[in-house]
Structure 1
Amino acid sequence: MVLPIEAPNDKSAPAFNIARIRDYWLGGVHHAELDRKYADHIMVCAPQVPYLVREQRAMVRRMVRYLVQCGVRQFLDLGSGVPTMGYVHEVAQAADPQSRVLYVDIDPHLVRDGQELLRDNENADYLEADIRRVDDVLGAPRLRELLDLSRPVAVLMIETLLHIPDTEEPAAMVAGYVDALCSGSYLGISHFSATTELMNGFMLFAQMFGVPPVVTLREPEQVAEFFTGLELVPPGLVPLPLWRPDPGDDPQRNADRVRVPTGLARKPGV
């Protein structure tokens, strides 16, 4: 289901940035006044979204810690946005300073900021590339310098596929990355599904503030198809707050109804 929530590619389009809006909701500093303005507009129309973004970041921390416990020390994060506020390299390298992380995004401004943030980190970097061009990403010299694809790698697509419509064959793209990985590697995905509240929020945004960005919402069954051929880690594909919560976590009421399917799967041996 494609819904208008990404600025159209024309000169009249608003210059807000979804990644920087998320940074604002997470309490970061890498955003501009226009990003804050549109973030506040979204909050008016869909007040649950900032909460879900924060829950998603907390889940990433849990997922990365789990992967490190499983022996993974290499991470490829696709469609990365701003790599701050407890993101992949911070969590992985806190557990093991030798963990290696490569972020990838198509936005040159985000890449520039990310490279500056990682300037003194020899085990993490930020690559400017179109993640839909799998061969370009996997063949990039910097990726080959930083990651050893003959050893397990965790590929993370956190809210990434939301921005890739079915016409661009996201399943083939995901399979392209998975096929390049050795057995024992992992794929992590978190993806928004449609809800009545979210769809009403999009309509309200359009009425009050104009054209929002464009996203493709997918049902959990559709998200599950991206894991074809892989072994889902318990508890499987579940609502975001229920993916391996930490002891003592108190998920919100009706957490099982949160329509953000999330899962991690392992590539089996031959």
Structure 2
Amino acid sequence: MDSVMVRPEETDAAEFGKDQGLIHEVIVTGRKVGAGTAFYSALAHSEELFARTVAFVARGGEEVVREVGAYIPLTEAERMAIDILGQSKVLTRAQARGGAEFSLRYSKTVLHACAEENAKEADWRLVYLRGNSLRAERVRVGTNRKQQPCFDPDYVWMMSLAEDGWATQGFEPGYYLLDMNGRFGAAAWTKQGKKIAELGPEFVRAHEAMVTEAALRIFQATGERLLANWWHWGRSLASGGRRVSVGSFDRRGW
């Protein structure tokens, strides 16, 4: 049986050297706007994400220009947080395509405490959030499963008028520290509240809209899919009397 032969392309050493130089420049520029190991790893291991990035660049980055309007450098607070928590644990204003600049509401001591907990089993993230409600996030990312992230198109119960009270509720925009690892999963909602209270007054249950925006913006910025196989039990009560839960973020959507 014959075998098909192929000649490898001849590589110009000088051109290869130029490519290496460009790659270095890309990494340096990326670090300035918050792109770290998680971002480049996501590109390296996802042809779909890489193709979308190539198409986006080919369009001249029009989406970012329309929404942000200008290049956004890291703030001193963001640099400090990245130094303490690590690049992959910080969602910057630029990554969230944010407009307003907010002061950091956490001290260096608190950030160091979070870093120490991350070394064990926590997953504290400092995230810049724009305060969107669940419905606002649904409009922002859409429901097309071919364009991740998205909301699950079959998960429509929160769109009914009966759910207006909580589904349209946003929160104050700014920087938030969220433990995206989840806690007390085996406990009932009330018992979870007691366990959270035992941690101290500086800890509260995260609002479901806050967790939603954080997870979706982190995915958009880095390709990392959080809450892939578990649900966050939020604060709000749905019309049926049950607490709202969000998550289980797989290819079907949020």
TM range, normalised to the smaller chain?
A: under 0.3
Q: TM-score under structure 2 normalisation? A: 0.25
Larger Rg: 2
Q: Which has the higher strand share?
A: 1
Higher relative contact order (CA 8 A, sep 6+): 1
Q: TM-score under structure 1 normalisation? A: 0.24
